[in-house]
Amino acid sequence: MKSVVFDLDGTLIHSSPDLQAAANKMLADYGLAPLDIPTVESFIGNGVPKLVERCLRVYGQPLTEEAVDKMRGYYGANPYTLTKPYGGVVACLEALKGAGIKLAICTNKPVAPALTILDGLSLTKYFDVVVGGDTYSTHKPDPQPLLGCMDKMGAEKANTVYVGDSETDALTAKNADMTFALFSGGYRKMPCEELRHHFLFSNFDSLTPYLKG
């Protein structure tokens, strides 16, 4: 492999505690009860508006721009207070970078908070390109963000792997006709066996030799 594109939330970073905290602040503004971590994790993967829509739907409430703005405000103020890289991520990125492999991020999170988190966790230095949910007019699972990310980094399908954790990531890779490595951790509703993938891993120590090999 010459290039690797990673999803962010649920793949490189465990971000659900901060997303849960922001979502619950938003819900409290409307007099709604807080949601637990498993519930919020099941809503992650399609961007902030969809996460807010799913949170409000629990209480039979409609999605509003005000609610989305509240969520973005709360999350933007504290995007990595509780967020941490998964175990082995830093060592994996170090090894890949040291091997001369180009690295990028393709996430449905808007670019600004994505960069804030990467900076805060000292991960920015590993990535040549960061594509967010607001980089293009479409977002994952539409293939445009992933293909656009590869174009920005000068990568080709034949020697690039996309790494993600969710149904959205698996479908994005399929739509882009990409090799896909599936992290069995992260935020997902379906069993891994039901998702299209070429390599399944539970820890980043096993991902490194696959990508370098």
pLDDT tens digits for 46-63? 999 999 999 999 999 999
Which residues are registered as beta bridge partners of 3? 102, 160
* N-term to C-term CA, the chain: 7
What is the pLDDT at residue 197? 98
Whole-structure pTM value: 0.96
Convert the pLDDT of each residue in 115-125 to its tens digit: 999 999 999 99
CATH topology identical between 3-14+82-212 and 16-77 = no
What is the pLDDT at residue 97? 97
What is the pLDDT at residue 163? 98
Q: What is the phi/psi pair of residue 200, to 5°?
A: -115, 130
The token pair at 169 is 């990531």
Convert the pLDDT of each residue in 146-161 to its tens digit: 999 999 999 999 999 9
Is 142 catalytic? The answer is no
| 18, pLDDT greater than 90 | yes
CATH fold for the domain made of 3-14+82-212: Rossmann fold (3.40.50)
What is the pLDDT at residue 87? 97
d(CA 47, CA 140) in angstroms, rounded, equals 9
Convert the pLDDT of each residue in 180-205 to its tens digit: 999 999 999 999 999 999 999 999 99
What is the pLDDT at residue 139? 95
What is the pLDDT at residue 213? 79
pLDDT grade for 25, boundaries at 50, 70 and 90? very high
Mean pLDDT of 12-31: 98
Domain boundaries, the chain: 3-14+82-212, 16-77
Q: From the candidates 7, 9, 18, 169, which is the catalytic residue? A: 7
What is the pLDDT at residue 109? 94
Q: Has domain 16-77 been given CATH number 3.40.50.720? A: no
| 74, pLDDT greater than 90 | yes
| 93, pLDDT greater than 90 | yes
What is the pLDDT at residue 1? 86
Mean pLDDT of 154-175: 97
